[in-house]
Amino acid sequence: MRILVTGGAGFIGSHLVRRLIQSGRHSVVNLDALKYSGNLENLADLADHPHYRFVHADIGDQKAVHAALVEHRIEGIINCAAETHVDRSILDPGAFARTDVVGTGILLEEARQLGLHRFLQVSTDEVYGSVEQGSSTESDRLEPRSPYSASKAGGDLLVLSYWTTYRFPVVVTRGSNTYGPNQYPEKFIPLFATNAIDGEPLPLYGDGKQCRDWLSVYDHAAGIQHVFEQGEPGTVYNVGGGNERENITVAEQIVAALGTSRSLIRFVQDRPGHDRRYSIDCSRLRALGWSPQVPFEEGLKQTVEWYRTHEQWWRKIKSGEFKKYYRQQYEKRLEKGTSCASS
């Protein structure tokens, strides 16, 4: 199938593009606006591949989206394009609404008008909100608590409405916290790994006991492809790793993998509305034939090692726009923070 992957130069998108092409069943057009976290270096090995094309455009640009769909005779869309970081959504919520809701709507309508065969919306388990007990199922009420998760929930509901209203064949995946190579270093694991490599403090929010279900990007990409190819139209599928860990535990595993001091971990002021725990039930996707393959401890060690051996990739990123964001987000917090060694 000829697939348009939006946001294909980003973290999850780039791994998905590579997987789709390597499967030998699809050709891929990667449409990406190349905002701060989009990086064509992530797909440098595919630049000349006969089944890969790149289009520099924003999903909010209706004319550009239409042109790409028509020119490349696209048959299906996987929408990975999104503003994705909770901290940034608190700083600039409008950008998240424009991309995650309005941009998604433009993609949907163009796809419907042109009669595409499939539309997959890549979403997040954060739309369910904080889960104190048990695990969220796909039929649970959405209770997003940040501008990021609210914008993703809005996009999900818009996508699903196209099945109810038009019988347009859409599916939605909601992934848990994803980690792996090529992840922009604002996110927890790459931020802590790269800071630890440089002997810099690791800013851990609150008491560090927030719990997340960690999912390898390789398993996440496999889950997305599986749903795209085999999922039932109008259906949501949770994609989780089954690896619930407290943030403090993951931070300690990162410093241990690098042989650095636990004293680098600094407890800092928590973010507003920080969800305590996420947990999702993936029975529906498992029944479809998918299951995660990467054990968390093994995957984490391999990921930390990737950042240790690919300093050229992340140092360029952390020397640019990232510096301003990092100072704004963490400078004052770190001044008032306390060392993990003193706790």
The answer to whether residue 109 is catalytic is: no
CATH number of 2-179+216-239: 3.40.50.720
pLDDT by residue for the chain (343 residues), tens digit each? Answer: 999 999 999 999 999 999 999 999 999 999 999 988 899 999 999 999 999 999 999 999 999 999 999 999 999 999 999 876 777 878 788 888 888 999 999 999 999 999 999 999 999 999 999 999 999 999 999 999 888 999 999 999 999 999 999 999 999 999 999 999 999 999 999 999 999 999 999 999 999 999 999 999 999 999 999 999 999 999 999 999 999 999 999 999 999 999 999 999 999 999 888 899 999 999 999 999 999 999 999 999 999 999 999 999 999 999 878 888 899 888 889 988 888 765 5
pTM recorded for the entire structure: 0.95
> What span, in angstroms and rounded, lies between the C-alpha atoms of 200 and 265?
9
Q: Which of 125, 213, 219, 244 is catalytic?
A: 125
Beta bridge partners of 173: 122, 237
Type of residue found at 279: S
H helices, E strands: number in the chain: 13, 13
- 140 a catalytic residue: no
* Straight-line distance from the first to the last Cα atom of the chain, in angstroms, rounded to the nearest whole number: 55
246: which strand partners? 211
| Domain locations in the chain as residue ranges | 2-179+216-239
Which of 75, 83, 100, 126 is an active site residue?
126
Q: Which of 52, 128, 148, 330 is catalytic?
A: 148
**128 given a catalytic annotation:** no
- d(C-alpha 152, C-alpha 158), whole Å: 10
